[in-house]
Structure 1
């Protein structure tokens, strides 16, 4: 498997990854999944048109990171407000029952189809990349723990994870 031409913003992202991790941890707290935020930021970076001129890469990365956190905050607030309003209208007025915990049937079918594509795509990953992805995502190991188990550097784990995410992002429908 040959890697596609590298996105011009990726080296800057990699150079700032540890600082961005601290940025997320300081703002989102210890309970936040900082690695997921970093991966979401990576996906935003690779989605930028490679021809886009970026004068100050660090400022651009931090703006993307701030926007990502703001989007997550707004989304959680909207969800909480929507759920609260629904409960108030349906439960307190006696017009209906509380929100069901089970997803809609069509969401279940779509989810199962996405899962099948995800699993098939994961199995097609190179062996080392697949093992690293599973250790981090399914076993919950940190990058440092994966690196220790695999006997490789942490940056190598990060690169394998980015490769896996890039491939999965391209193949799994959203």
Structure 2
């Protein structure tokens, strides 16, 4: 089991690798993703992912491979998001005429949901509201909260699952 000194040495070595390779990593990831912001997020996520690993001077390849794999993961996630967005029909995007009774019922449901959201962890609720109410993208949310896009995605999955469960409970009443 590594002691604190080995851990510090590994962390220092990882910092040294990132100091020397950060520009190269960002260029590599930018070529894969086509986005400077995504490249910054992926390089940051690479550092976090390897932070608790035993990394030495010879592990530059591990850092590059990890960044490349995370960039590919980011691209796959983006393709899934785009595919979902494209699958939404025009009818789903068109505003519909709502009778007053339905509007009142919808407002009551919204207030009930907002009260229920108060039970979520603070960051999860904030990410959900930034996305759904403020219309921010995941990269925008990640930058504003100083977290990775991956973290935003995981928190949104949690929040959306919470909403699905809330809806199921309401429908069973």
Superposition TM-score tier, normalisation by shorter sequence: 0.3 to 0.5
TM-score by length of 1: 0.46
Computing the radius of gyration over CA atoms, which structure comes out larger, 1 or 2?
Answer: 2
